[in-house]
Amino acid sequence: MAVSGARDGTVIIHTIRRGQYMRTLRPPSDSFLVMTIPNLAVSWDGHIVIHSSLEGKGTLKNKNSLHLYSVNGKYLGSKSLKEQILDMCVIGENIVTGGRQGHLFIHDLYSLSLSFSIHMRVPVHCVSVTKENSHILVGLEDGKLIIVGVGKPAEAKSGQISRKLFGSSRRLSQISSGETEYNTQDSQLHFESNS
């Protein structure tokens, strides 16, 4: 399936093979303000995660939300967010989001509950997970690239976080703490480790 979000607050699902329309999803909202869909992601098993944002008053509480739907379009739940999401991806049973206030959040896919967060102090513009699910790449507004690694419990060090993510035998650890920088002027990627 191909899933697209629109400025009118709808999400439309089409088949990939023939491009046929399947259904339209409309995330719930209690507000009279216009809802837009800035981000969405689809898990490997077809769960659809939608980030909705209400346009209008900038100070409105619960302006941003995550919504979860099954592969068949069944509404499974919503969660209000504390900040605007700039990018997100779904990996395994986790949703990785980066926000305007500089937070990297990891939510459980099925309950939408917050599993972990790191404050980067700068808006997070891009999040991606490597093919091996071993690292989260976090692109910041100031041009820095932060790498958050996933290691096995036996490799645990004092700075690692003990939450299980991306599988039962791995744990999340922060590999870099701001020293990793992508310098766009000379196109060199350099890494400095503080361990």
| pLDDT per residue as tens digits for the range 42-77 | 999 999 999 999 987 655 567 899 999 999 999 999
- Residue 151 burial (C-beta neighbours within 10 Å; 0-12, 13-18, 19+): middle
Neighbours of 60 (CB within 10 A): 12
| Cβ atoms of residues 187 and 143 within 8 Å | no
176 has pLDDT over 70? no
User: What pTM was computed for the model?
Assistant: 0.76
Q: Which residues pair with 183 in a beta bridge?
A: 188
- CATH 2.130.10.10 boundaries in the chain: 83-195
In this prediction, residues 7-30 reach a mean pLDDT of 92
- CATH 2.40.10 boundaries in the chain: 1-81
Protein fold of 1-81:
Thrombin, subunit H (2.40.10)
Residue 193 and residue 180: Cα distance in Å, rounded? 8
Task: Give CATH for domain 83-195.
Answer: 2.130.10.10
The tens digit of pLDDT for each residue in 94-150 reads: 999 999 999 999 999 999 999 989 999 999 999 999 888 888 999 999 999 999 886
Q: What is the reported pLDDT for 188? A: 34
